[in-house]
């Protein structure tokens, strides 16, 4: 069960003896020290709670993901038809819709007509709501899990 410990320790064994060719190979996999993070996760109750929350609210998160994907497709179709001179390919329109949905707004592709800019503003406003939904679902589930743990501790005492 201590495989993560083993994987994270292996790269440091090359320090013992530089003469072993097998241990020289281990130097190349020093990046596996990153696995030490997973060891810390194992002992954290917060990660356990977040895992439970994600498992329990899986249906809601999938529904929000489908809503976001549908919104991206619809926004891309609308802007691709409204602004054919600004968006050369449909992929450009999907890229724009994704950037607008997440309100990142890189500015490398943008509409130039008044109607296209109006669609962009609406897309950004709805994007804020769609991006905020998963955060609200996870937060509500996290608070519910904490409340359950408190109730269990009070009942056990």
Kindly report, residue by residue over 73-108, the tens digit of the pLDDT.
Answer: 999 999 999 999 999 999 999 999 999 888 787 888
Residue 57: pLDDT band (50, 70, 90) is very high
Alpha-carbon span 120 to 93, nearest angstrom: 11
Model's pTM, two decimal places? 0.66
- For residues 130 and 61, the answer to whether their CB atoms sit within 8 Å is no
Structural domains in the chain? 3-43 (no CATH), 48-156 (1.10.287.70)
Six-digit token pair at 116?
A: 């296209």
Which among 126, 130, 128, 127 is positioned nearest to 64, based on CA atoms? 130
Residue 20: per-residue pLDDT: 57
> How sure is the predictor about 124, in pLDDT bands with cuts at 50, 70 and 90?
confident
| Cβ atoms 16, 101 nearer than 8 A | no
């Amino acid at each position: 069960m201590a495989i993560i410990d083993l994987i994270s320790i292996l790269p440091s064994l090359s320090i013992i003896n530089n003469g072993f060719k097998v241990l020289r190979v281990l130097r190349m996999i020093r990046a596996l020290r990153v696995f030490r993070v997973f060891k810390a996760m194992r002992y954290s109750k917060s990660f356990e709670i977040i895992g439970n929350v994600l498992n329990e609210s899986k249906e809601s998160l999938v529904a929000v993901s489908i809503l976001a994907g549908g919104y991206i497709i619809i926004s891309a179709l609308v802007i691709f038809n409204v602004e054919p001179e600004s968006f050369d390919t449909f992929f450009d329109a999907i890229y724009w819709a994704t950037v607008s949905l997440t309100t990142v707004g890189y500015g490398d592709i943008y509409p130039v007509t008044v109607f296209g800019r109006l669609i962009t503003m609406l897309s950004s406003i709805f994007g804020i709501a769609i991006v905020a939904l998963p955060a609200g679902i996870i937060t509500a589930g996290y608070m519910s899990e904490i409340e359950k743990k408190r109730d269990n501790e009070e009942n056990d005492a």
